[in-house]
Structure 1
Amino acid sequence: MSRRSPPHPRRQGPRPLGLHLAASLTVLLSSPAGLQSLRSASPRWRPELAERAAALARDAASVPADALAREVDREMRRRLDRFLTGLERYRHHPYRRDVADPEPLWQEGSARLLDYGTAETPADAPPVLFVPSLVNRGYILDLSARKSLVRWLAGNGVRPFLLDWGAPGPLERGFTLTDIVAGRLCRATVAASKAAGGRKLGLVGYCMGGLLALGAAQRQPECFANLVALATPWDFHADDKPGALRTAAFLGPFEPTMRLLGELPVDAIQTLFAQLDPQLALKKFSRFALLPEGSPEVEDFVALEDWLNDGITLPSAIARECLGAWYGQNETGRGCWLVAGRPVEPREVELPTLVVVPAKDRIVPPASANALADAVPRAERWTPSLGHIGMIVSGGAEQRVWTPLRDWLVAHA
């Protein structure tokens, strides 16, 4: 008698699940109330939609009230069913990440340095150190067999190293950004350079990792051949200062938790991201429900969603620096951010520098990232028509980002 393999455990995400369910159900279940508001011509809080609302009200007035109410209720239920179907389809999907991390060539605490060079990587391939954010796991750069920037580079003339920060342990919970930049990152740089035979490294930072890379480039310029900042914020008040201040204020209610645990919990961080678009879960899981089974898009969706929900905590002192000092006080944009007592100054960077500002970024406003390109002398700037995550894993990423990035790294090695 054959034994059935155990089912995959159901996923916890999208995290925090209760928040996403509440936001989505609030939108859908408020439809009958919205219909009444439409009929009563209640005040509009979106003036730019006034013309469309008036046209909709005229159309609604031409239909019997009971019939319209029944159709609204039917459509509300249909959309709710589609959203929940997509949600459960994701939570039960059998896909699991289909690539394994390379063996670390250096490790310190929770941090690991991964070498993606292979036997096929040319001996003279320029070595490049990738520095991801501390907020999300670094394997967004190695998401899956189909969507891996670092594996693609390894097969196309570059030797990538990835600094995987890992989840903070007891030691890291006491860290500041100085411990990260002047400590872990600097020592990982030495280890990567040694593995590359003492050659200078390309240095690529993604999102928050770009700020960490900038600090390292200023401290160890002799170790690097160039600097690349991908979707990296700098002036946190350039686009929406009130929004940045709201983000900083978000930290206050979690202070007791951070003092108790020594870290900002994952679901707190995910709640902050959810505020960027409270209806995003409703939209994307409704679309996911309609994707044909077995299509590559299904596994790509699940792979990315798994990464989004595989968050890690942020040590309390680092959370205060990132949310309070960066978002609240704009210490980076004002030239006041210190690493080991020294201001991080983009104008001091003399390395060949590339700043990539995705034009459709909703996580790092382009104005914030453009400020970094303006601040680094002679920095080259690209503005691909992609989003913050899309620049790394979307269908257009290879053509618009990966290939030109490879060419640039080789030319400036």
Structure 2
Amino acid sequence: MGDGQSPCEEPAPAGASAPEDLHDTVAKLMQGFWPGFSYMAEKTGALDLSLMPDSYSATALAEVMDRASRAALGRMTLGLSPGALLGAWTDWASHLALSPGKQMQLVHKAQKKSARLFSYAADCAWRGNAGPCAIQPLPQDHRFEGADWQAWPFNLMSQSFLFTQQWWHNATTDVRGVTAQHERVMAFTVRQMLDVWSPSNFIATNPEVLRETVMTGGASLVRGWQNFVEDAERMAGGGKPAGAEAFRPGEAVAVTPGTVVWRNHLIELIQYAPSTDKVHADPVLIVPAWIMKYYILDLSPENSLVRYLVGEGHTVFMISWRNPGPEDRDLGMEEYRTLGVMAALAAIGRIVPERKVHAVGYCLGGTLLGIAAAAMARAGDDRLASLTFLASQFDFSEAGELTLFINESQVAFLEDVMWEQGFLDARQMAGAFQLLRSGDLIWSRMERDYLLGQRREMTDIMAWNADATRMPYRMHSEYLRRLFLDNDLAEGRYRVNGKPVSISDIRVPVFSVATTRDHVAPWQSVFKIHTLADTDVTFLLTTGGHNAGIVSEPGHRRRSFRMHRTAPTDRAADPDLWLAVAQEREGSWWPAWQAWLAERAGSLVEPPVIGLAGAENDGISGPPIAAPGTYVFME
């Protein structure tokens, strides 16, 4: 029985093969059910029923059918697992059913809220619109702030909706026995469902839309319909949002002068041309996240971090990641480390020999850089002079709202989606991010663009946000499982070349930047670098979100930051204590970081040559390729 055979099965005779008609029938059925069947059968060989005993054939076929069916379903759900949602609902519903006290409490709350709403309605009827609101929206909810929402009957509609929303929050939280993750999923899901029926989403129940419709004689609705049709056509054709074409890389964004000096299958390495007579001796390498195009750090000239660093006398190198396709399905985290970070360091070492590198990692690029730095420290590789992490996490136990979509059911479902197509599609990834901020990215946009007939002016950061990339099947699966799901890096189980690596092995100084409104990498999670790294850590907390907080050029309005250095001997691991100690400063954080970097980047010297002196550029044949290179244009 240890060979996988059922005790009731007749062992297959040696050399026996499955009937030809059975093989053909199964193949035809699977080909009709799943177009990728022939490709996977050829790649794996596991589906050739003539090569293995029936029990193994059935197991392989069953697994492929399961994966294919989940992959087909995933195309309709944007990669979100119905099983994960069903599990959360079952956990919540079963525990609520066994909690009569909670049920009584909810009935009591419903009665109280109904009484308050009735009292508010009566007060409005008696005194007109002068009565104070019976319930206030959450601070981030701006749907009902306009003066038109204070007039009857729209004030009653909005108040009724807010009471309903509050009651359902009470119903989905604090149910004894429900796991914390399932509670968050239920509260999030119910909120999404309620938001669909918000009175702000419909013409007849939105006073601002009605006012605009009357004032324009219906022209606003005509414009809204035109906007909807245009967006639908662009989405169906795989195009970018309206206005994004004005921010093409190399023309309006990503225009800092530079040259691609190294290239392999995964990266192009850009070296930027100096703009000062002298430069700091030590170069800077920037490792962006591969989830999006690199030029978030080289947007328009006025808010380009790259241009700012070059203008301050730094020699800057930038990794531009390839947009992977189905052929890259087997690229994993190790390939991203070796073909990305390590290959770039090797190329920089040939261009600027005998100088150490100040490495900068953004988001996932920072996590990868931390892994590479830890492996280098373990191996005694001292090519790094300092590390800067921008909104980067290493402990994923509190990794923000994205953990709503990270559990075994969701990861397995997403793996099946990627297994079929070889990568995670950018639209599937964008769907999850839009749900996390549905108020800003879905409903308010629908109201503005389609009901009011207005278009928000496209900006460089909005155009970049629409220029997403794919992620290889193996890499994203490893990332989700080893980092998010199992938290291997923080807990000392993450392996490079078969040996575990630890952030605590890093000895070079660290500068870590977090943002106050980051829903991807919450600043308290980023702050955990203090407990993981056994080195000098300068932590900076700036206002803004995950992207806008990092793109915070000098002169940017309403920006401030806090910064405090923590030595290894006086480690302060509590974020609240750190917040009380670090003083707030007005303005951009870029000059403070640049001053920290300049202190460690060596004396001023003549700028290095672009690429390899007297030799053909590594990995590149033909004439030099100007920045932004070619990989940034891969769709």
Matched, 1:145 2:278: no
The 8 Å contact of residues 200 and 224 in structure 1, kept in 2 or not, is answered as yes
1:124-172 deviation per Cα after TM superposition (whole angstroms, max 9, x unaligned): 3531100011211111011122221011110112121111112014553
- What is the aligned residue count? 369
**Hey, what does 1:302 align to over in structure 2?**
459
Shift of 1:386: 2.6
Query: Matched residues in 1 for 2:484 and 2:206: separation?
Result: 42
Shift of 1:201: 0.7
Query: Matched residues in 1 for 2:116 and 2:542: separation?
Result: 32
Amino acid in the other structure paired with 1:155: G
**Hey, what does 2:629 align to over in structure 1?**
none
Query: Matched residues in 2 for 1:51 and 1:355: separation?
Result: 51
Listed as ranges, the gaps of 5+ residues in structure 1 are 1-15, 20-41
Query: Matched residues in 2 for 1:135 and 1:120: separation?
Result: 32
Output aligned runs, 1:213-232, within 5 Å: 213-220=369-376, 221-232=381-392
Aligned-residue sequence identity (percent) comes to 25
Amino acid in the other structure paired with 1:386: G
| Aligned with 2:208 (options 75, 91, 96) | 75
| Aligned with 1:392 (options 517, 537, 550) | 550
The 8 Å contact of residues 109 and 169 in structure 1, kept in 2 or not, is answered as no
Matched, 1:244 2:244: no
Output aligned runs, 1:180-329, within 5 Å: 180-220=336-376, 221-238=381-398, 244=403, 246-248=405-407, 249-281=409-441, 282-283=443-444, 298=457, 301-329=458-486
| Aligned with 1:154 (options 282, 307, 310) | 310
Query: Matched residues in 1 for 2:413 and 2:317: separation?
Result: 38
Q: How has the CA–CA distance of structure 1 residues 79 and 119 changed in structure 2, closer, same or farther, with 3 Å as cutoff?
A: same
Q: How has the CA–CA distance of structure 1 residues 277 and 43 changed in structure 2, closer, same or farther, with 3 Å as cutoff?
A: farther
Structure label with greater radius of gyration:
2
Query: Matched residues in 2 for 1:235 and 1:253: separation?
Result: 24
Shift of 1:183: 3.5
Amino acid in the other structure paired with 2:365: G
Shift of 1:380: 1.7
1:207-244 deviation per Cα after TM superposition (whole angstroms, max 9, x unaligned): 1111111122223341111011111112222366x962
Amino acid in the other structure paired with 1:373: H
Amino acid in the other structure paired with 2:529: L
Query: Matched residues in 1 for 2:465 and 2:348: separation?
Result: 28
**Hey, what does 1:349 align to over in structure 2?**
506
The 8 Å contact of residues 247 and 272 in structure 1, kept in 2 or not, is answered as no
Matched, 1:335 2:495: no
Query: Matched residues in 1 for 2:470 and 2:356: separation?
Result: 32
Q: How has the CA–CA distance of structure 1 residues 65 and 348 changed in structure 2, closer, same or farther, with 3 Å as cutoff?
A: closer
The 8 Å contact of residues 276 and 363 in structure 1, kept in 2 or not, is answered as no
Output aligned runs, 1:374-393, within 5 Å: 374-377=531-534, 378-393=536-551
Query: Matched residues in 1 for 2:340 and 2:510: separation?
Result: 23
TM-score, length-scaled by structure 2: 0.51
| Aligned with 1:91 (options 242, 260, 265) | 242
Query: Matched residues in 2 for 1:194 and 1:65: separation?
Result: 72
1:293-345 deviation per Cα after TM superposition (whole angstroms, max 9, x unaligned): 9xxx94xx421111111111111111112223322222223222223323231
The 8 Å contact of residues 86 and 286 in structure 1, kept in 2 or not, is answered as no
The 8 Å contact of residues 329 and 472 in structure 2, kept in 1 or not, is answered as yes
Amino acid in the other structure paired with 1:194: R
**Hey, what does 2:178 align to over in structure 1?**
none
Q: How has the CA–CA distance of structure 1 residues 326 and 175 changed in structure 2, closer, same or farther, with 3 Å as cutoff?
A: same
Amino acid in the other structure paired with 2:598: V
**Considering only aligned residues, what root-mean-square deviation do their CA atoms show, in Å?**
4.0
Relative CO higher for 1 or 2, CA cutoff 8 Å, sep ≥ 6? Answer: 1
Q: How has the CA–CA distance of structure 1 residues 68 and 210 changed in structure 2, closer, same or farther, with 3 Å as cutoff?
A: closer
